[in-house]
Amino acid sequence: MSSGEVTLTVRLVRSFEHRNFRPIVYHGISLDQTVKELIQFVKNDVALRTGLPPPFKKYKYDPFLKL
């Protein structure tokens, strides 16, 4: 891993009430990409990831927490 890359853990949250979440670890994420590019990368990866159950793959995630 070079100095411009990091390891990032993304937590997919379907329901806080029911504690439905899945952590996904990404290695070698470039620090040069924008937040918009990272969000699009994660959305595309989640849709294609084989280890996640269908509800996590098809859910329309909002990347920003609304309080």
pLDDT value for 48: 86
- How do residues 8-34 score in pLDDT, each as one tens digit? 999 887 767 777 788 999 999 999 999
What is the torsion angle, in degrees rounded to the nearest 10, for the CA atoms of residue 36, residue 60, residue 45 and residue 40? Answer: -10
Positive or negative torsion for Cα 43, 54, 12, 26: negative
- Residue 54, pLDDT > 60, answer yes
pLDDT value for 53: 76
Average pLDDT of the chain to the nearest whole number: 81
Instruction: With cut-offs at 50, 70 and 90, classify the pLDDT of residue 62.
Output: low
